Structure 1
């Protein structure tokens, strides 16, 4: 499995809608797959990591990333316009703002368009 993989929460309607948008509009060589159907051991991921944030794993470059860093990597694997957006997301001041924004969205994804109660992130101490 040398192909990069972007892993998201398939139980979340908002996450699934976002992943479907990426599949349709962000041409990438990466597989975009819900963590519930991914080979987590082969990717070196845990269910806990995947429930907490989207993940990027690229075995060819040995790059792994989570949250907005994973989104940046997905964008950077695409065409020039998306590559610029991914590069901007990695600029330190933007990245510093992206993480709190990502965490806010993750905590409130059940309230986002397309989100459902199933999208709510379990508390950190809950078992996955």
Structure 2
């Protein structure tokens, strides 16, 4: 399943939680950057681990969200990777947002996305993982991870 456009009902239900930036809560590097984003946001943007927030934004694909930062705006639009960082800066630090204007120049967006993808692919090597990933959980697709939890809940 890929990230899709939300239905009007999904968007209405999610409204109290938007805008929101979703990050990999199992990633030490991501968690540190999320703490910085939270300080910058001053309440104007929720910054949440995707592992806790996906029920609020069901149109965001969990496996996609594990691969890159996702920012979902009040209209339900998703910004991913470098585009999410640019949007985050514009929402939280308007003066820094000016610095990202070159992002829209030809070729710069492509370079920014490649740089983001390179860091994202090595994020666990950069700063490590939280305990959940030490058990190999992060390598398992989201549906398989939650499958056992659903069975356990129905067995009870």
| Shorter-normalised TM range | 0.7 to 0.9
Partner deviation per Cα, 1:75-124 (whole Å, 9 max, x = no partner):
11123222213433343432111111111101111222x333849974xx
TM, length-normalised to structure 2: 0.66
Q: Among 34, 38, 41, which residue is 1:19 paired with?
A: 34
**5+ unaligned residues in a row in structure 1: which ranges?**
none
Name 1:106's counterpart in structure 2. Answer: 120
Q: Which has more radius of gyration?
A: 2
Secondary structure class of the residue paired with 2:122: helix
Partner deviation per Cα, 1:4-62 (whole Å, 9 max, x = no partner):
111000000010011112222455611000000003463521211111111011133x4
Name 1:115's counterpart in structure 2. Answer: 128
Counterpart CA distance in 2 for 1:21 and 1:127 is 28
TM, length-normalised to structure 1: 0.79
Aligned-residue CA RMSD in angstroms? 2.6
**5+ unaligned residues in a row in structure 2: which ranges?**
1-13, 143-156
